[in-house]
Chain A
Amino acid sequence: MRTVVHLAAPGEHAPTLEDRLARVAQGDQEAFSFVYDAVIGAVLGVARRVVRDPAQSEEVAQEVLLDVWRGAARFRPDRGSAMTWILTMAHRRAVDRVRSAQAATDREHRTAVREHTPEYDEVVEEVEARLEREQVRRCLRTLTEVQRRSVTLAYYRGCTHREVAGLLDVPLGTIKTRLRDGLIRLRDCLGVGA
C-alpha cells in the first residue's frame, strides 16, 4: 500500500506546518505566508465544492485564512494536525455559508432567501471526474454506493444528514450509520491516524 501523502511536504529540515503555525501565533507574517501557500489550494478547493460560486468561495477562503491568523495560538496539536485543523475550519465556514443563505447579498439587502437544492448525481460524477488524488479516488471506490454518496453529499455539498437521507431515500438512522461506516472505511484505506 502506498504511503500517505505528506500534506505539509516537509523537506530537509524544513519546519512543519505546525512549527510555522507556532510562529504565526507569535505574529510572524512571514511564517503565515508559508502556511498560506501550504493550505490555500485545499481550502479553496473545499470552499468551491460546497459553495460553488467562485467569488463567494474566495470570500470563504479569505475568512478561513484570517481565522488561522487570528486563532493560531488556539491550535491544539494534541487534537490533530495543523492541516486538519485548518481544513475543518474551511469546511465549517463553507457549510455555514451555504446554510446561511446568500451571505453577501444579506449584507447588502439585509436579508435574502435561497434554496439549496443538491443534485447528487451531478455531485458524485463531478467529484469523481475531478478528484486529483488517485488515492482518495481509489479509496472512495471501496465504499458502498450509499456510503460514498452519503460522505460526498455531506462533505462536498455541505448537506445535513437529514438532506442526505431525503436525497438517497434512506432512513435517517441508516444514513448516520452509513456516514460513519463510510468514513471508517475511508480512514482505513487512506491510512489516517488520529
Chain B
Amino acid sequence: MTSADLHTMTGAYALHALDEDERREFEGHLVECPACAREVREFRATSARLAVAVAESPGPELKRRVMDEIATVRQLPPELPDRHSPTPVEPRRTRRVVVLVLAACLAAIGALGGVAIDRYRDARDAERAVAEQRARGAAIEAVITAPDAVGGSAPASGGGTVRVIASPALDRAVVLTSGLPTLPDARVYQGWYSDNGRMRSIGLIRPGTALLASGLDRASGVGVTVEPAGGSARPSGAPIVLIDLPAGRS
C-alpha cells in the first residue's frame, strides 16, 4: 500500500474501524508520519465530542461499584514496560485484544472462546463477576415481569423442556431448560433466535441455568440445537426444540 493510501486511513483508524492487518500496517506508518499522528489526535478529539453529545446519566450504584473496586486495584507505573502487560493506552494494545477486534461484527467465530477466557483471566474480574451475576439476576427478573412479556414452552425431542420468555420492549429473552439430557463432553446446547427460519445465535445454554439474551429484535421464535463444543456459527443440525413467539409484535 502506498503512503498516500495509508494516509487516508486516519479516519477509519481513529474510529477503531480498521481490520487487524490494516491497523498494524497503519500503526507502522503512523510512527513515521507526524502529519498522520496529528490528524489521528484531532479525529480522536472530534469523536470524543460525538460521545459527549450522547452522554447519559448513570445510576448511583455504578459509582459505588467503581469506587469500591478501585480501592482494591493496583495502579500501573508510568512507563510502558512490556507489550504484553494489559494497558489501556492506545495504540499499543495486546495481541489478545487485536484478535478480538479481528473477530469483528461480521461474526467471525472459531477461536473466540479461548480468547475470551484469556482476556477475562484478570483477578479483578472475579469480583466483577459477582456484581454481574447480581445484575443478570435483576435483568432476568425484568424480562419475566415485563408487562409485554410473551413466551411459550415445548418438549425437546431428546427429553426435557425448554421455556422462553421474551420482552420486545426490553429487546431481550430468557431461555430456561429443565430435564435436558446430559451431553457427551464434546457437545453443547446452543440457543438461537429464529427470524422466520434464519437462525441467529444467542449463546450456549448450560442446562439448569437461565440464558439471558439481548437483541430480540423481531425474532419469530427461539430454538435450541446440539453443537460441537464451543458452539457453531450456524446450526449444524435440526433443532431439538423450536418455540414460536406470538406474532403481531411491533
In the complex formed, the residue of B with least CB distance to A186 is: B46
Which of A66, A110, A182, A190 contacts B49 (CB under 8 A)?
A: A190
Residue of A61, A98, A109 contacting most chain B CB atoms (<10 Å): A109
Q: Does B116 contact A (CB under 8 A)?
A: yes
In the complex formed, the residue of A with least CB distance to B15 is: A154
A168-190 vs B, CB cutoff 8 Å, 1 = contact: the mask equals: 00000101110111111011001
B17-49 with Cβ < 8 A to chain A: 17-19, 38, 41-49
A192 close to B51 (CB less than 8 A): no
Q: Which residues of A contact B62 (CB under 8 A)?
A: 40, 44, 58, 61-62
B interface residues, tally (CB under 8 Å): 97
Q: Is the interface of A mostly helix, strand, loop or mixed?
A: helix
Which of A49, A52, A64, A71 contacts B89 (CB under 8 A)?
A: A71
Shortest CB-to-CB span from A1 to chain B, Å, is: 15
Shortest CB-to-CB span from A167 to chain B, Å, is: 10
Q: Does B155 contact A (CB under 8 A)?
A: no
Q: Does B183 contact A (CB under 8 A)?
A: no
B49-108 with Cβ < 8 A to chain A: 49-59, 62-63, 65-67, 69-71, 73-80, 87-90, 93, 97, 100-101, 103-107
Given contacts A32-B70, A96-B97, A107 and B15 within 8 Å (CB-CB): no
Residue of B8, B18, B53 contacting most chain A CB atoms (<10 Å): B53
Shortest CB-to-CB span from B48 to chain A, Å, is: 4
B105 close to A74 (CB less than 8 A): no
In the assembled complex, the Cα of A104 lies from the Cα of B107 at a distance in Å of: 17
Q: Which residues of A contact B214 (CB under 8 A)?
A: 52-53, 56, 102
Given contacts A80-B44, A151-B15, A71 and B105 within 8 Å (CB-CB): no
A50-75 vs B, CB cutoff 8 Å, 1 = contact: the mask equals: 00110110110110111111111110
Q: Does B135 contact A (CB under 8 A)?
A: yes
State which of B144-152, B156-164, B230-238, B239-247 sits at the interface with chain A. B230-238
Q: Which residues of A contact B49 (CB under 8 A)?
A: 133, 136, 186, 190, 192
A43 close to B51 (CB less than 8 A): yes
A127-182 with Cβ < 8 A to chain B: 127, 130-133, 136-137, 151, 154-156, 158-164, 173, 175-177, 179-182
Shortest CB-to-CB span from A188 to chain B, Å, is: 9
In the assembled complex, the Cα of A159 lies from the Cα of B18 at a distance in Å of: 9
B78 close to A73 (CB less than 8 A): yes
In the assembled complex, the Cα of A113 lies from the Cα of B233 at a distance in Å of: 6
Q: Which residues of B contact A14 (CB under 8 A)?
A: none
B179-226 with Cβ < 8 A to chain A: 188, 190, 200-206, 209, 211-215
Q: Which residues of A contact B42 (CB under 8 A)?
A: 187, 192-194
In the complex formed, the residue of B with least CB distance to A88 is: B44
A131 close to B53 (CB less than 8 A): yes
B19 close to A114 (CB less than 8 A): no
Q: Which residues of B contact A68 (CB under 8 A)?
A: 88
Q: Which residues of A contact B100 (CB under 8 A)?
A: 96, 99-100
The interface of chain A, by Cβ under 8 A from chain B, is 5, 7, 25, 27, 29, 32-33, 36-37, 40-46, 48-49, 52-53, 55-56, 58-59, 61-62, 64-74, 76, 79-81, 83-84, 87-92, 95-96, 98-118, 127, 130-133, 136-137, 151, 154-156, 158-164, 173, 175-177, 179-184, 186-187, 190, 192-194
Task: Give 5 A-B contacts (CB < 8 Å), ordered by A residue.
Answer: A70-B73, A80-B45, A115-B201, A193-B45, A194-B38
Q: Which 6 A-B residue pairings sit nearest by Cβ, starting from the closest?
A: A111-B113, A180-B11, A41-B55, A112-B203, A179-B11, A67-B88
